[in-house]
Structure 1
Amino acid sequence: MEGENAVVGQVDHARNGFDPHEILTDWDVGEVSIDAQGRRVREWVVTAVDKEVEVAPGVMFPAWTFNGRIPGPTLRCTEGDRLRIVFNNGSAHPHTMHFHGIHSWRMDGVPYAGLVQPGGTFTYEFEAKPFGCHLYHCHAMPLKRHIHKGMYGSFIVDPDPSRHPDAVAVAESRLLGSARNAEWQEIMICMNAFDLNFDDENEIYAANTIPFAYQQKPIRIERGRKLRIYLFNITEFDPINSFHIHGNFFDYYDTGTTLTPTLRTVDTIMQCQGQRGIIEMDWSEHEPGQYMFHAHQSEFAELGWMSHFEVV
């Protein structure tokens, strides 16, 4: 440790094949086409990969991953899209992709519907609904081990403004690529942790996998643009995780499935594993500077889930 609480040294993000600062905003919108019925189709190819990941400076973790990264790719689409996910299992273990959303049991990504053996392929196909901030993860047994070792990612369904005539402006603000959406700064934060010695107790906690990544290099926020955070918790071996902001308050949309806040003017929210939501906050009246955010479980913060925004 150096200073008040930090790790010594730097993680080699190039060797890992992913960077926590890039993960904040690297939305994967898939390959888009129009089918014979005139529906917009989005298709992704996702591959399970067994991989050594440096989860802290000099600390290697035998991970199971989607596309070689933790969390997996942030899949983003629009309400009503037809989604097609071609899942290839390049791992030595059976895996699935279970999506939180509304779909047929045949597409559920569980041991009796969508389990893929090593070397196999399965295609999940369903409509994107409901809109909101969701996730996907492996649902093979033992479930806790598949999740803990890194098989999860964020799944964001933007609202279709045409389906929400009473809240068109709000829906447009969430629709990636729209003029109103461009007025916002948007980031994705995955709250996760790692059990390094496999005793079912975590030694490292993080936002987007790498402890203290956003303390060592704060996230730049433009004061004149509102901030939207897609937040989800996939921490194994602890019943809850939390998000706390310093010097500000925010509105919170639990699961992101409403266009009006479920909580207003709060500075801390808790999520159990698999829970997620959207945070919106305004920095326009703040002076520039560094504003801390972290888990409000002190142990988690001291072991890596400690971050800063650099408001400019």
Structure 2
Amino acid sequence: MLTLRNLNKRFGSRVVADDVSLAMAEGETLALLGPSGCGKSTLLKMIAGLVAPDSGELRFDGADVSRLPPERRGFALMFQDFALFPHLDALGNVMFGLIEQGANRRETAARAQAMLHRVGLAEHGKRKVWTLSGGEQQRVALARALATQPRLLLLDEPFSSLDADLRRQLQGEFRGLLREAGMPAIIVTHDRDEAFALADRVAVLKAGRLLQCAAPQALLAQPADAWLARFIGYDNVGEQAAIPPAAILLGDDQPAATIVELSALAEGVKVKAATAWGELVLTLSAREAARLGGALFIGGKIGMGVDESALLRFR
């Protein structure tokens, strides 16, 4: 469906896209994940047509769209600030894109109202958007994007301005809406949990380079390198492999390790210990911590080893 081939982009001496090649399938949700400044938002803007690549090719359904203006690509772009029109009510905001497409006003109003109903705002159509909560504004922006039935939905940090509980709720609703519509989408985020919750595949970028693109479980099972392993959440990473929690062995039959840090958690404790494998971090449940008893103090000794067969070796 969408194919990026050898895309390159520089702003002065800064490289924001370094020979990026990527393909996504029909109906797929793809996340562009990486730290701030890695080039993920610029890549999204190149797909949208807001930024021109220096070189490379961008195809959609087999056609080269690299030189098409944004309005001729048939894509919808949703920014993190929602970009709603404050002088319009919620219904008027959702109708806007349909009117731009040339639909008649009666049909437009009916389609927009139906979309507000789908996002749970059927009773809010006449409210000015500045009177809505952040979560409600996000739903209006999403309804506006979906109402135009774009060929591809592009979202730049769409949930970043919301609090954690609301963000998780809306992520679940959003995933369901995309599945229902069968609409392909690309989501830019710096949040690993968000990428893994929403996307079929996750493309991890660093300094303009695409390091790895895979399903969340595949990324966790075989990260490409040490940097990527740390970025997606592994605490214990060596030069050749990541050490998942399941690979860390505890018990009197393991080599003695010295506790160097302890952090209390809501449901247990986080332990850092100096071992033959270097300093390893492990989160223990309250039950596991209780079994270790009086050994859990700075300088205390516990048996800790590593099951080498369970290491996640880099490619």
The TM-score with structure 2 as length reference comes to: 0.28
Q: Which has the larger radius of gyration?
A: 2
Q: Which has the higher contact order (CA 8 A, sep 6+)?
A: 2
The TM-score with structure 1 as length reference comes to: 0.28
As a proportion of its length, which structure holds more strand? Answer: 1
As a proportion of its length, which structure holds more helix? Answer: 2
